[in-house]
Amino acid sequence: MNTNPLNLALRFLLELVMLGVIGYWGYHRFAGWQGIAAAIAFPALAAVLWGVFRIPNDPKPAPVAVPGPLRLLLEWALFAWAIWALEDLGYDTWAWLLAGVLVAHYLISYDRTMSMLRNKPYKGFVKP
């Protein structure tokens, strides 16, 4: 189910939302030029972590290969940051909505999630 185009589109949208929320939070938590710097630096940091530390073949070779459980923990930590940022800014309903959609996404992507927890490469992306 993980490789379904709709699920992949949802995953991409969730990643963009996470980056946007982290940037928005950084902008509103710091004053002046520091807010602008945080709005740029925080999402950039999250994107670098997301893109560099990956499991092999997910879907391309990983720049820095990490075990599946560590990658899953990184994903959850970045999404938790976004959820917490929404809560911190007073957007409780949006935080709960994002959390619910994330839980649903990871449940729908159970095949990828389980292969990451077992620290085995996900077979859904490997071309025969």
Domain boundaries, the chain: 5-117
Residue with tokens 């992306």: 125
User: Cα separations (Å) of 39 from 17, 31, 107?
Assistant: 14, 11, 31
CA distance 42 to 124: 31
pTM: 0.87
pLDDT of residue 128: 43
Residue 54's SS3 state is strand
pLDDT of residue 124: 54
Cβ–Cβ < 8 Å for 55, 116 = yes
pLDDT of residue 85: 97
CA distance 84 to 78: 10
pLDDT of residue 121: 60
pLDDT of residue 5: 84
pLDDT beneath 70: ranges in the chain: 1-2, 59, 121-128
Burial of 99 (0-12, 13-18, 19+ CB in 10 A): middle
* Structure-token pair, residue 68: 């599946």
